[in-house]
Amino acid sequence: MPDTVETDVTSADTPEQLRSAMTDKLLAEGKITSDGVERAFRTVPREVFVPEAPARQAYDVDDVVITKRNGYGVAISSVSAPRIQAFMLEQADLQPGHHVLEIGSSGTNAAMIAEIVGDKGEVTTLDIDQDVTDRATRGLAGTGYDRVNVVLGDGEQGCADHAPFDRILVTVGAWDIPPAWVNQLTEHGTITVPLRMRGVSRSITLRRDGDRLVSVSAEMAGFVRMQGEGAHEEQLLLLHGKEVGLRFDEEPPTHADKLTGALDTARVEEWTGATVGQTEPFDSLHLWLASALPGFCMLSATSDTKLVAPQNRTACPAMTDGSSLAHLALRKVSDDPRTFEFGAHGYGPEAAKLAAELAEQVRVWDRSHRSGPGPQFTIHPAGTPDEQLGEGRVIDKRHTRITISWP
């Protein structure tokens, strides 16, 4: 997500004009589809919540305004891009009179939620960082939305003082669904949350179904990660110094040291016949590979390394068996420079086997899931017996067991 500041604001571009243009664009793109969300976007003055940023940046549909970084320069709080906020608000299906909990506060989103639910509704926005809640309090007071409850607390615990909630919106990246969120939800309530599964995130709206939560929508999204009790760090394995890294959402292989020499072996290539256009999205492929492959991880590589040529140097789907690895790759198709073919590169003693397995799953995705509706996510309580989970990839978390089931 971009975090650069746009500076070419002209005197003619007033906040009101920028707000109107932003909303018109999101309507034209289909990101805003309801009257309530449109009204919120046309009404809430975003610039008040980010006084340090130019107005043009506050209203850029794709721009994220970073409001706080940690000691390593990593963003830990931000005002999300309008495009992301729009589709999450639409996902949540907010209605007048709803009681809503927002976990992760910037103030801007809480103001828009308050605009949608109206005076008969109630909005609580919660954050673990007092700098963030203080900023939200100032912004909400300065824009006339001081009826919003601003609470300092750990999102893992929800907010029992203002429960129950018709809607819970989580605007930080979560690794699990803690029991407090479910317990504080009304019988017909929903949770909209950017949930990370095997290193891949989706903003998912979940509805109660007995003791389970079942997805009703899912969108690609990325957020700063949750802090506090619900934090979960990926495990990083570095190869060849810091040139290549493997990130595991669960534990890395028990004998990961055997991977050290894998990249010194000859590369094995397996090509699939499945192609993609230069600007064609294929985000469902990453999710399919995460749900289909054993030993799944995300590979990253420095820009100057020649050890690997991954499909994406920042976050490339990969798999390992502990001594060998394979990752997703792309190559140009000679008769059309704008078209690329998916494949797999393998390294190590089992390179051919892993590359073939990864490539075959790309073909399965291409045949069966590329144009489909995507998977359903079901959240079961921890301890649910295997025979009650149904089919699909099972991902065990601290509080839950998640199944990813593709049609």
In terms of DSSP bridges, do strands 244-248 and 316-320 run parallel, antiparallel, or are they unpaired? unpaired
The Cα-based distances of 310 to 153, 239, 248, 280, 285 in angstroms read 41, 15, 17, 18, 15
- For tokens 């017909």, name the residue: 188
Tokens of 59: 């209203």
* DSSP H or E stretch at residue 341: strand 336-347
Query: What burial class does residue 67 get, using C-beta atoms within 10 Å of its C-beta: 0-12 exposed, 13-18 middle, 19+ buried?
Result: buried
Are 181 and 202 in contact, with CB atoms under 8 Å apart? Answer: no
How far apart CA 89 and CA 36 sit, in angstroms, is 9
How far apart CA 207 and CA 92 sit, in angstroms, is 10
The Cα-based distances of 379 to 203, 391, 395 in angstroms read 14, 13, 10
Q: How many CB atoms lie within 10 A of CB 91?
A: 21
Tokens of 152: 């300092």
User: What amino acid positions are annotated as catalytic residues?
Assistant: 80
How far apart CA 73 and CA 70 sit, in angstroms, is 5
- The DSSP letter of residue 367 is I
Is the previous residue joined to 375 through a cis bond, with omega within 30 degrees of 0?
Answer: no
**Phi/psi at 276 (5° precision):** -145, 140
Nearest partner of 4 among 69, 40, 46, 53, judged by Cα: 53
- For tokens 């990083």, name the residue: 236
Nearest partner of 96 among 123, 118, 125, 112, judged by Cα: 118
**Phi/psi at 52 (5° precision):** -80, -10
Tokens of 103: 């976990």
- For tokens 């930080």, name the residue: 172
